[in-house]
Amino acid sequence: MGFGDPSGNYWLGNDLLSQLTANNRYKLRFDLQQLRSGNWYYAEYSTFRVLSEADNYMMQVGGFSGNASIDALGYHNEQRFTTFDRDNDRWPTTNCAEWLGCGFWYHTCGWCRVNGARSSPAGFYWSGLPGGRLLQMSRMWLECK
């Protein structure tokens, strides 16, 4: 189920993401505002799919383009969604969701953290952005192909 405020800070929910992306009709776009400069960058993925709960909501992502310098999300390709109570990441001694304060498709905690609280000690970031990885804001969009 989704949660948050639909007019701003909102997560659609993995069940709905899985249903929406099952037929590969959407691409994924991130709009990323760098904290220090306030400049906007974007990362777009021509392929984005979230598998079902039976597959622990594994994410499949590819076809990176944009001016965000590096494919930070691609590092997490083929990862299962990790939450506080379901440690599906590849770090054997740490639950990345617990350590970073938010659920996500973590490999070994990662190159991007776009849906957590800015106030977290781990930060709110997209690695490789010009001027530094820390973000002021991020938006994650599904767009019809």
> What's the pLDDT tens digit per position in 122-141?
678 999 999 899 999 888 88
Whether the pLDDT of residue 114 is over 90: the answer is no
Q: Where are the alpha helices (DSSP H) in the chain?
A: 14-21, 96-100
Residue 58 makes CB contacts below 8 A (sequence gap 6+) with 50, 51, 78, 79, 80, 81, 105
Residue 83 has pLDDT above 60, yes or no: yes
The three-class DSSP label of residue 75 is helix
What residues does 143 pair with on adjacent strands?
27
Per-residue pLDDT at 10: 60
pTM across the whole model: 0.88
Assess contact for 78 and 89: CB atoms under 8 A.
Answer: no
CATH topology of domain 12-144: Gamma Fibrinogen; Chain A, domain 1 (3.90.215)
55 pLDDT band (50/70/90 cuts)?
very high
